[in-house]
């Protein structure tokens, strides 16, 4: 089904499990990218416990929190399922560090996007090669950039249909699902880290701050790495 409007219509009113099942049954290569945030853990739970034919993968930038690595192992052990891990190109990381040091991202938006490009964007393109459907854990209320996103979209940068099954979920709904289904999540969420990325680029937020205020907090930007721009 190539018509996005028809696909949206087919997904209308479906539960998370039903929507994921529909994609797995009607498309040949369906993949889900997880950063092990709470939204992603909700989707992982639905995929793994229902044995859906969806490949789960993650991007290891080399700069993640130790708690994220521990959650990876906890998740693998809980469900008894494997996920694929993609790493940055070693030569490109070495060249970046040699030229600009380990923390060049603090000095300009351009430098930060360069680092994201090497550590995230390029590995993502490898992970999405040949995929028909790319499932994400995006929610509309996460940021201004995401507020206009729809449940299914055409991602021209990666030539793939993007499926955002939680796009209209609230954060409270995410937390309720996690509690009800006993889904493992990061202890950092209880320490003020709502949106978690690389360790050097993420801080805890204060009460009343936007959930993504802790990402690249030194910037006045859209708080995006480029994966979903």
The residues annotated as belonging to the active site are 225
Please indicate if the annotation marks 1 as binding a ligand. Answer: no
The alpha helices in the chain, defined as continuous H runs, are 4-11, 16-26, 38-49, 66-79, 90-100, 109-116, 122-128, 171-181
Please indicate if the annotation marks 209 as binding a ligand. Answer: no
Please indicate if the annotation marks 116 as binding a ligand. Answer: yes
Helix (H), strand (E) at residue 84: strand 84-86
- Among candidate residues 184, 177, 179, the one with its CA nearest the CA of residue 70: 184
Please indicate if the annotation marks 115 as binding a ligand. Answer: yes
Spatial strand order in the sheet of 133-135: 84-86, 55-59, 30-33, 133-135, 160-163, 152-155
Residue given tokens 């021209």 in the structure block: 156
Binding site feature residues: 115-116, 198, 201
- What residues are designated binding site for [4Fe-4S] cluster? 115-116, 198, 201
């Amino acid at each position: 089904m190539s018509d996005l409007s028809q696909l949206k219509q087919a997904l209308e009113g479906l539960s998370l499990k039903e929507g994921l099942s529909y994609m797995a049954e009607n498309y040949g290569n369906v993949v889900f990218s997880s950063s092990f945030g709470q939204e992603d853990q909700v989707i992982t739970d639905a995929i793994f416990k229902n044995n859906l034919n969806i490949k789960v993968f993650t991007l290891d930038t080399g700069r993640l929190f130790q708690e994220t690595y521990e959650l990876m192992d906890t998740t693998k052990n809980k469900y008894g399922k494997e996920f694929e891990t993609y790493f940055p190109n070693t030569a490109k990381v070495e060249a970046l560090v040699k030229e600009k040091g380990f923390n060049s991202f603090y000095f300009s938006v351009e430098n930060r996007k360069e680092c994201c490009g090497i550590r995230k964007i390029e590995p993502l393109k490898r992970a999405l090669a040949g995929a028909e459907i790319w499932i994400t854990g995006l929610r509309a209320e996460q940021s201004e950039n995401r507020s206009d996103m729809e449940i299914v979209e055409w991602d021209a940068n990666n030539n793939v249909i993007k499926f955002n099954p939680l796009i209209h979920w609230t954060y409270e709904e995410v937390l309720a699902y996690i509690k009800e289904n006993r889904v493992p999540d990061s202890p950092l969420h209880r320490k003020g880290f709502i949106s978690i990325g690389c360790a050097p680029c993420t801080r805890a937020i204060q009460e009343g701050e936007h959930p993504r205020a802790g990402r690249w907090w030194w910037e006045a930007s859209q708080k995006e790495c480029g994966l979903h721009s």
